[in-house]
Amino acid sequence: QVQLVESGGGLVQAGGSLRLSCAASGRTFSRHTMGWFRQAPGKEREFVAVISQSGGSTYYGEFVNGRFTISRDNAKNTVYLQMNSLQPEDTAVYYCAVANRWSTLAVTYDYWGQGTQVTVSS
Q: Which residues contact 69 (CB under 8 A, 6 or more apart)?
A: 58, 80, 81, 82
Each residue of 108-120: pLDDT tens digit?
Answer: 999 999 999 999 9
Q: CA 22, CA 34: separation in Å to the nearest integer?
A: 10
Each residue of 25-55: pLDDT tens digit?
Answer: 977 898 999 999 999 999 999 999 999 999 9
The answer to whether the CB of 72 falls within 8 A of the CB of 78 is yes
